[in-house]
Amino acid sequence: MVTRILHVEDDADIREITQLALALSGQFELHQFTNGDEALQQAAGIAPDLLLLDVMMPGMSGPELLVALRDVPGLAEVPAIFMTARVQKTEIAGFLEQGAIGVIAKPFDPVSLGQQIHDILAAPATAAQPA
């Protein structure tokens, strides 16, 4: 089964690395956007299985975008993973409280990114941990 991902990241290099890392497996269909406004305009038509959101972006942050995406019909229950360099225990706990099921630390290992995503999606909701 292919996992359809809505990925929002303002850094072009990180978008490219993510695309390359996930395309190799053939298990992911990636829809990438540079900011929250673009993602909100297209999200309903994509019907993603997963939201992969950068935390720190100009304009709308990842957590703010997640709140907005929850109001889009069909996206209220779609799992979300934040990607961030902010990985102190208190910060991670805050991201999980805001509705993420997991956090992937930046910089991430492109070789293991797909497996990290699978592991987070497979983990019980109460056991969401940073990857």
- Return the CATH number at 110: 3.40.50.2300
If one counts the domains in the chain, the total is 1
pLDDT given for residue 128 in this prediction: 45
pTM: 0.92
Q: What is the mean pLDDT of residues 112-125?
A: 90
Q: Which helix (H) or strand (E) holds 28?
A: strand 28-33
Residue range of the domain that includes 75: 3-127
How far is Cα 27 from Cα 47, in angstroms, rounded to an integer? Answer: 16
Angle, helices 12-23 vs 113-122, to 10°: value is 80
Indicate the average pLDDT of the chain.
Answer: 93
Residue 20, token pair as written in the block:
């390359």
| pLDDT-above-70 percentage for the chain | 94
Q: What pLDDT score was predicted for residue 45?
A: 96
